[in-house]
Structure 1
Amino acid sequence: MTGSILIVDDDPVQRRLLEAAVTRFGHTAIVVDGGTAGLEVLDGPGARDVSVVILDLVMPGLDGIGVLKAMRERDISVPVIVQTAQGGIETVVSAMRHGAFDFVVKPASPDRLQASISNALKVEAVEGEVKRTSRKRGGLLTFRDMITHSPAMDRVIRLGQKAAASHIPILIEGESGVGKELVARAIQGSGDRRSKPFVTVNCGAIPDNLVESILFGHEKGSFTGATDRHTGKFVEAHSGTLFLDEIGDLPLDVQVKLLRAVQEGEVDPVGGRSTVKVDIRLISATHRNLLQQVKDGKFREDLFYRLNVYPIFVPPLRDRRDDIPHLVTHFMEKVAPADPRHRLKGISAAALAVLQAYDWPGNIRQLENAVFRASVLCEGDVLTADDFPQIRAQVEGTLNLDADDTLEASSVAPPPSLEPRDEDVVPDETAPAAVLPAGVQARFGTLRALDERGNVRALADVELEMIKLAIDHYNGQMSEVARRLGIGRSTLYRKLKEYGIDPETGRVDRLAS
C-alpha cells in the first residue's frame, strides 16, 4: 500500500471528483481547500505519509506556483502533479520550472491521472532508494568528486583549493541549483577540518521568529515553546565548518548578531546569561546580488564586507554546456543501483542535443531531476528525446531532431576523470565529445534566425521574441529583464508598449501598430 495522495484545490466539485478517482485507484486521499492548508499538511507530522501532491495552479491566496516555491525553499521533495484549466505552454513551462513533476489539464481523464500518479510513485520509490544508497556511501567530498570538464569551472576549482588551505570567510555566489553547497563541501573536505562537523543552515527556509534561536541557540524557558535548551548551529559546528546557505534572506536584526559572531568568535544564546566561544570556518552562499541588497538597505554593509573576504562565483549551467554530457552520465549511474532491473545503456545523441540546447534556469538541480525522471520512466534501454517531453517542447524548432535519434551509448562522453586538480589546471582538449546529429551546431540558441521559407526573419520579429523569452525566463522581473537585454527600464517599457505586451503578464494583449 502506497502513501496518501494530497489533493489541493479550492473548487469543492473538483476536490470530490479527484478524491473519488484517487480512492478508486486504491490510494488514500487527503483533501484541503487551498495552498496554505496544503503547506500545513506538508509541514505537519503526517507529511511522511504523503507520496504525491495533486495541486491546482489557480487558487485564491497562495496559488500553485507559490506552493511549489515554498516546497523548494523548505526542501520538500514530494512529487507534484499540477492541474489547471489553462493548458498553454507558458503555464506548463512555469510549473515545471518551479519543480512540478507532471502537468494535467482539467478535466483530466481517469487514465491520464492514474498514469501520472503511477509514474510519480515509481519515481519517488527509486528516489528513496537512491537517497538510502547515497547515505550508505557517505564519505567526504573533495574537488576530485566534481563532475566537470568545463573551462568555466576551472577557476572555481582553483579558487576553492586555495580557500581550503586557509580559514578566512568565503562567500559562494551563483544562481539556485548551480552546486554552491557542493563547492562548500569540497572546500571543507579538502582542508584541515575535513574530519570535523559540517553543519548546513538554509537561512531562507527558517521562519523569521526562529532564525536567532536556530543559529545561536536558546535556554530553556527563554520564550514560549522553549521547553528544552538548544545549543544552536554555531555551537554544533564548533571546530568544524558552518555553511549558511541563502544568507541574503537573513533578517536585519539577526545580521547584527551574526556580525558579532564572525568578528568576535562568540554567540549569545537567546535567554542566556553569558556568551559562548566558538571556533568555526564560515562559508556563506547566496543566489542574490548582495551588493545590491546593501544598496537597497536589506543587507548590512559591514556584514557584507566581513563575509565577502573571498568570493567564489559558480557559473550557471548554460555557461558550461560542455559539462552536460558528463553530468547526464553521472546522474544515470546514480539511478542504476536503485533500479537494477532497468539498466540503461546510455542516451541518444539527439536527446543529448536537446539537453544541451536548453538553458536550464534551474541549473544542475533541474537537469538531475529531468534525467532522473526520464531514467526511471524510460521504456527502452536508451534515453531518447521523447523521454524529455517538456524540454523538447521548448527547444523544438531550433534543432534538427529528424537525424539519427538512436545512437549507441558509446557516443556519449564517458564520465570525467577524478584526478586531482592544481594551480596549473588546463582544460582537456582531447576529451571525447558526444556525437551530435547532422545539422546541430556545437552551441545552441533558443531563437530561430530563419523563417519557414528559409529567409532571414525580420529584426522586429526576433526582438519581440527575445523580449518575450526574457520576460518568461526571469519570471517577469523587469529590472533583471532590462539588465540582461542590455537596455534601460524605460526603453524596455517603451518597447513593451510598441509591441503591445502587457508588463504584468508578459503576453501580447493587442496587435502592434
Structure 2
Amino acid sequence: MTTGNEPRRRVLVVDDEADIRELIEITLGRMGLDTVAAADLGQARTALADQPFDLCLTDMRLPDGNGLDLIRHIEARHPALPVAVITAYGNTEAAVESLKAGAFDFVSKPVDVHLLRRLIDQALKVGEPPTASRNNHRGGESPRLLGDTPAMQRLRQTIAKLARSQAPVYITGESGTGKELVARTIHTQGPRAAMPFVPVNCGAIPTELMESEFFGHVKGAFTGAARDKDGLFVAAEGGTLFLDEIADLPRHMQVKLLRAIQERAVRPVGAESEVPVDVRVISATHRDLADLVTRGEFREDLYFRLNVIEVHVPPLREREADIPELADCILAGLARHLGLDPAPMLSPTAREALQNYRFPGNVRELENILERAVTLCEDAEIGPEYLRLHSPLHRSAGVEPEPANAPDGDESPAAGTALGSQLEDVERQSILKALEATRYNKTRAAEKLGISFRALRYRLKKLGID
C-alpha cells in the first residue's frame, strides 16, 4: 500500500469481539496498514481525538451504542474520513441505514477477507485525486452539468459528496435533463473512476433476454447459447452499473435484481453456482417510482434498496439563466465536430427566444434545436428563424409542447428508435445516390439534394459516410 518513505496509512478498527478485531488487524497488517483497535464507542471517540486516521471500520453493535452513533460523530467532526460498517449477516436494514447515515460501504459477518481487502482498497482511494475513467463521456464533459444557478451548484455539491460513498443512488428527473451524466460524474469523481461505467436502458432489453443480459449465461443454457457470455454485472466489475429507466424492469427481473444487489453475486443462466460481483448500482427514471410501488407495479423492497440516496436533476425551465452558457458550449462542440471556423453564434434575438422557451425536452431538446439550426443556417450568426421553436403562446397558455424528436401518441421509445433508424437508412441511400451521380463531388451532390454544402457535410458525419 505504501512505497519508499511514504507514511503508513492508519485504520481505526472498532469491534467488541476480540477475534474479529484480530482478523481485521492481521488482514490490514498484510496490506501494509497500521491499525488502532477500540472495543467500544467511547474508546473510538478517544482514538479519533488523539490522532488522524485514513479509514474507520466499525461494527454496528457496540456495548455503549452502535455504529450509526459513530458514523454521525465522524460525519460531524471528521467529514473527510471514510467509514465502513460491519453488519450481521442478512441484516439489510442496518446496512442501508448505515449508508444513509454516511457510511462508505459495509461488509457482512462472517467477514470475507477478500471482500474486506477490496473494500479497504476502494475506501483508501476516496482521499486520492480522481483517476481518469477509461469510459469517459466522448468529447469531454457534457454541457448538461454546466451552469451557475443555485440548483446546479447544489447538484454538483451533492455529486461530490456521493462520489465518496458506495451507497446505491436513485436519480430522478424529466427526460433529457442529464440523469446519465449525473451518474457518470458520480462514477468519475469516486474511487471506481478507473474501472468500467456500464449504462443500460432497462426498457430497451427484450423481456425474454433480460436475465441473460444482466447475469450472463453458460454455453448450452438455452437454444442459441453457443458459448459462455458475461452479463452486465460482470462487465461492470469493480465499477458502476447505471440502470436507466429502472421503472421499466418487469416484476420477475425485479426479484432477481434485488437478490443480486443484496448478495453481491449473480447466477448466470444455466450455471450451478453464483459469481461474486463488486459493482456500485446507480438507477434512474423519469417516472414516479414511489407511485408505481403504491400501485403494486414495482417491488417496495427493491425500491428501498435502490433509493438509499435520492438525487433530483432540475428541468431546464427551472434554470433559465444557464441557457446561454449551455447554448455556447453546445455550439462550440458542434463547430469542433464539423470543422466550422468561425464557430456559429446565436444572434441576440435568438438568445432571447431560447430563454423565453419552456424546453419540455430539457437539455437534450436544446442540443437537438442547435444541431438543426447549425445544419440549416448558412451564416456564422444563427437567427431565431433557424431555431424553429414552438410558439411562445404555448408558454403563456400553459400548454406543454411536445419535446423535439419525441414519439407521437402512445408510441413506445423502442418504436421511435426503430422509426429513426429507418429514416436514417432512407437518408443514407439518398445521399449515396447523389454522390454516385456526381462522382462524389460534394458541392454538386448538395445542390442535387437541395441542401447546403454545410448541411451535407454534417449529414455525412452524422451517418458515418466517408
Band of TM-score, shorter chain: 0.5 to 0.7
| CA displacement, residues 275-313 of structure 1 (integer Å, 9 cap, x when unaligned) | 010011111111110000101111100000000000000
Residues 334 and 253 of structure 1, relative CA distance in 2, 3 Å threshold: same
Q: How does 1:477-492 map to 2 (within 5 A)?
A: none
Q: How does 1:106-185 map to 2 (within 5 A)?
A: 146-185=145-184
Matching residue within 374, 391, 395 for 1:394: 391
Distance 1:220 1:291 in 2: 39
- Which residue type is aligned with residue 369 of structure 1? N
Shift of 1:255: 0.5
Distance 2:184 2:341 in 1: 32
CA contact (8 A) 1:142 1:189 kept: no
- Which residue type is aligned with residue 300 of structure 2? E
RMSD of the TM alignment (CA)? 2.7
Matching residue within 376, 385, 395 for 1:446: 395
Residues 387 and 334 of structure 1, relative CA distance in 2, 3 Å threshold: same
| CA displacement, residues 465-499 of structure 1 (integer Å, 9 cap, x when unaligned) | 54xx259789889xxxxxxxxxxxxxxxxxxxxxx
Distance 1:136 1:339 in 2: 23
SS in structure 2 at match of 1:446: helix
Identity over the aligned pairs, expressed in percent? Answer: 46
* 1:322 aligned partner: 321
CA contact (8 A) 1:142 1:187 kept: no
Residues 331 and 176 of structure 1, relative CA distance in 2, 3 Å threshold: same
SS in structure 2 at match of 1:271: coil
Q: How does 1:30-429 map to 2 (within 5 A)?
A: 146-341=145-340, 343-389=342-388, 391=389, 393-395=390-392
Shift of 1:136: 12
Shift of 1:380: 1.0
Q: Could you say which structure has the greater relative contact order, defined with CA pairs below 8 angstroms and 6 or more residues apart?
A: 1
Shift of 1:214: 0.4
Structure 1 stretches lacking a partner, 5+ long: 1-134, 399-444, 448-464, 478-513
Residues 170 and 341 of structure 1, relative CA distance in 2, 3 Å threshold: closer
Please tell me whether Structure 1 or Structure 2 has the larger radius of gyration of its CA atoms: 2
Task: Give the TM-score taking structure 1 as reference length.
Answer: 0.50
Distance 1:337 1:280 in 2: 35
Residues 144 and 205 of structure 1, relative CA distance in 2, 3 Å threshold: closer
Shift of 1:344: 3.2
CA contact (8 A) 1:344 1:375 kept: no
SS in structure 2 at match of 1:394: coil
Residues 472 and 339 of structure 1, relative CA distance in 2, 3 Å threshold: closer
Residues 471 and 182 of structure 1, relative CA distance in 2, 3 Å threshold: closer
Structure 2 stretches lacking a partner, 5+ long: 1-133, 411-466
Residues 306 and 375 of structure 1, relative CA distance in 2, 3 Å threshold: same
| CA displacement, residues 223-275 of structure 1 (integer Å, 9 cap, x when unaligned) | 12222211100011111111111111001000101101111101111111100
Shift of 1:146: 2.9
CA contact (8 A) 1:324 1:355 kept: yes
Residues 295 and 145 of structure 1, relative CA distance in 2, 3 Å threshold: closer
Distance 1:269 1:236 in 2: 13
| CA displacement, residues 155-185 of structure 1 (integer Å, 9 cap, x when unaligned) | 2111111100010000011111100111111
- Which residue type is aligned with residue 364 of structure 2? R
**Count of aligned positions:** 274
Task: Give the TM-score taking structure 2 as reference length.
Answer: 0.55
